[in-house]
Structures are given as C-alpha cells and as structure tokens.
Amino acid sequence: MWAEIMREFTDSPTQARVVRFLLANGFGVSAEGKISCNGVEIPATHLAKVIGADRRVVDATAQRILRTPALRELFLRIRATPDLSQVATSLGLTVITVIPNNAEEKGIVGDVVSVLTRHALGIRQIFVTDPYFSEVPRLVIILNETPPLGVIEEIRSLPPVKQLIL
C-alpha cells in the first residue's frame, strides 16, 4: 500500500517527502485542503519549515491528495495517537523496545505479547513503527509495571528478536 502511495508522487520528490512526513506523523488533509492532525489545522508554513520544502509544495501536495480518490479517503480519515514512550517514566510506566531481525516476519508482536500475558503483566500501549517509514523498525510496548528479569530474558531469547532495550 505504501509503495502505491509513493508511486503516485514519483514525479515530485519534494511532494513525496511531504507525503512521507504526513503518513509518518499521522497527519491528514481536511476536505478544504489543509493539513490537519485530528481535526486541528497545521499551517503549511510550519510543515514546510520542518520538511525543508516550500509552503506552496505542501499546499500543492494537499490538493493533489484530494484529487486522487484513494489518497483522499486515506488522508481524510487518518488519525494520530499519542506515543506514551516519551513520557512513560513520568507516568510510572516501563518501556520495552524490541528491534526485530526482520520486521516483515509475521508473529513478532504475538510472540512478545504471549510472554508478557503469560506473566500477567499489564500492557498499557503497543505500537510498531512501520518498516517503510523507519530505518530501524521497532516494536514498542509500554507496561504498567517493570517486568522481572526472567521475562526480559525470555523476550530477548525469542527467535525474531535482534535486540531488546529496556
């Protein structure tokens, strides 16, 4: 799916950068052609500065998205969710980050969650960075408590796990 989206923008590398940024951050496009995050408009000038593009490119990308039916539906509906990993310590939560050997392998999330649930650990949040948008794809799990050392070692020894960061 991501490759198909990016194929639409092969003629414009700068617009492709804008689209990649929007998708990576859960930003959408409003029916009026404005970049938005969960219904809150984000000025094109602000995005352009972060992306290193001209404001007009951001606006043109939003308009192009709206003119392409499949992209229109996606970007009108996409939503961002909070990433608790950055504030976990302040909330008394624990973050486990799993770097897989191969992010395209099936069952990585299930294997790790099975270990955690077998030890009755409360999971607050799980998210996976998309291998298409992340140089180092990862599984991030936020727990209500610190897992015992044995649980960490059990996860670390799972075949799909390359590295575990606690």
Position of tokens 């649980």? 151
Q: In Å, how far are 22, 72, 112, 147, 165 from 80, measured between CA atoms?
A: 10, 17, 24, 28, 25
Q: How many domains does the chain have?
A: 2
Range of the domain at 130: 84-165
Is there a single domain that holds both residue 121 and residue 144? yes
Which among 13, 47, 77 is the end of a domain? 77
Distance CA 109, CA 98 (A): 9
Is there a single domain that holds both residue 69 and residue 94? no
User: Phi and psi for 100 in degrees, rounded to 5?
Assistant: -85, 160
Q: What does the pLDDT profile of the chain (166 residues) look like in tens digits?
A: 677 888 899 999 999 999 999 998 999 999 999 999 999 999 999 999 999 999 999 999 999 999 999 899 999 999 999 999 999 999 999 999 999 999 889 999 999 999 999 999 999 999 998 777 778 899 999 999 999 989 999 999 999 999 999 9
Is there a single domain that holds both residue 9 and residue 28? yes
Position of tokens 């990585």? 108
Is there a single domain that holds both residue 154 and residue 90? yes
Distance CA 94, CA 112 (A): 15
